[in-house]
Amino acid sequence: MASDSDRLRAVKAFDDTKAGVKGLVDAGVTTIPSIFHHSLLIEHTDHDHHFTIPVIDLAAATCGTTTTPSMRAELVAAVKAAAETVGFFQVVNHGVPMAVMSEMLAAVRGFHEEPVGAKALYYGRDYGRPVRYWSIFDLFQSQAANWRDTLIIDTAPELPPPEEIPPTCRSIAPKYAKMMEQLGRTLLELLSEALGLRSGHLEEDASCLERLAGHYYPPCPEPHLTLGTTRHSDPCFLAVLLQGAVGGLQVLLEEDCDVNNNNNKSSAVWVDVPAVEGALVVNVGDFLQIVSNDRFKSVEHRVVSQSIGPRVSVACFFRRQDVATSTRVLAPIIADGEARYRSTTMAELVRHNRAKGLDGSSALQHLRL
């Protein structure tokens, strides 16, 4: 077993290449370096279970059609049910054209398949840089690296100047970000109403699209030894994911307790989030679980490694990033019963998440009362 110092040297050597995981694939590796080996058991998906990720039609909220109160109520009820039970759902007729989604995915893939010299200009771990590329953000603190490279484009408080955005993404990223802002506003209105609040309530805290994360998961020669993304939940109000045709995204869902089971214990299974043509994946984040006092679920999820690929996806995270709102207190909205979390700030939760990294544990545990 490698010592901590040996691992640190190996991680630094990998990081210094600025070539990411794609560089290893391009070099023709047939066995993955030990820094990518996950010592914890990588639980496999239980395909005997028949969970489904809800698909919700947003046409009544996004297409400019006349909406009756009953249509709105049905849509809010569908979003409420998904947020309360699964924490994940897919949306169609969301207002983002297929051509724009295809162009965004192609742009992210184009960046990651550039020569190393072109990508290295953006490589680094300085959160002050609005555009940065890395393998994983917690590479130096994690017990095992993930088989993934990521391009980050911060969109708050504003998009970087065009010359700072990689050429492959320069024209499409601002257009896509603008459409995501509108979609995020629509989703937060529906979620506010699902909590029995006025439609603009959550928007005041979370309407800002914070960043785009363009993920690239190359084919892995030993997918059983590593993960594309370790299990985690998202430190935000809401995340919206555009994924290509290659699967791999999974959510951890609790099974209902069996009334005939004397042990009365529930168990959890990994469930695939299939790629649905034209759909975007939406998931509740940690901030929303806190504010909803556990009514909405920020569910752990992961991406499994595969021998096929690449898998390309674009994640959009909604939370405000200015001084006033980063220090704003988040507190549970109590409909009945007692608060399940202590009050916190966005800034505290973000700091905690960065410090712990993707260690497989929920960032919410240290806040639970």
Specify if 7 maps to a domain.
Answer: no
Q: Do residues 260 and 35 make contact, with C-beta atoms less than 8 angstroms apart?
A: no
User: What is the DSSP annotation of 187-207?
Assistant: HHHHHHHHTTS-TTTTHHHH-
pLDDT attached to residue 263: 44
Q: Residue 179: phi, psi to the nearest 5? A: -70, -35
Omega before 219 cis (within 30°)? no
163-177 burial code (b ≥16 CB/10 A, e <16)? eebbebbeebbbebb
Helix/strand/coil for 115: coil
User: What is the DSSP annotation of 255-308?
Assistant: PPPPTT-TT----EEEEE----TT-EEEEE-HHHHHHTTTSS----EEEE--SS
pLDDT attached to residue 206: 64
pLDDT attached to residue 69: 87
Specify if 272 maps to a domain.
Answer: yes
pLDDT attached to residue 259: 34
pLDDT attached to residue 261: 37
**Considering its fold, how many domains does the chain have in total?**
1
Q: How far apart are CA 211 and CA 238, in angstroms?
A: 12
Structure token pair of residue 116? 């190393």
Specify if 72 maps to a domain.
Answer: yes
Residues of the chain where predicted confidence (pLDDT) is lower than 70: 1-2, 40-42, 44-50, 63-66, 205-207, 256-266, 320-327, 356-361
pLDDT attached to residue 258: 37
Specify if 35 maps to a domain.
Answer: no
69-85 and 172-194 are packed helices; what angle lies between their axes, rounded to 10 degrees? 90
pLDDT in tens, 291-345: 999 999 999 999 999 999 999 999 999 986 554 456 677 778 887 778 888 888 7
pLDDT attached to residue 278: 96
Q: Do residues 192 and 203 make contact, with C-beta atoms less than 8 angstroms apart?
A: yes
Q: How far apart are CA 265 and CA 14, in angstroms?
A: 43
Specify if 40 maps to a domain.
Answer: no
Q: How far apart are CA 64 and CA 110, in angstroms?
A: 34
Which CATH number characterizes residue 135's domain?
A: 2.60.120.330
pLDDT attached to residue 292: 93
Specify if 156 maps to a domain.
Answer: yes
Q: Which domain holds residue 249?
A: 14-29+48-367
- Closest among 299, 78, 298 to 187, alpha carbons compared: 78
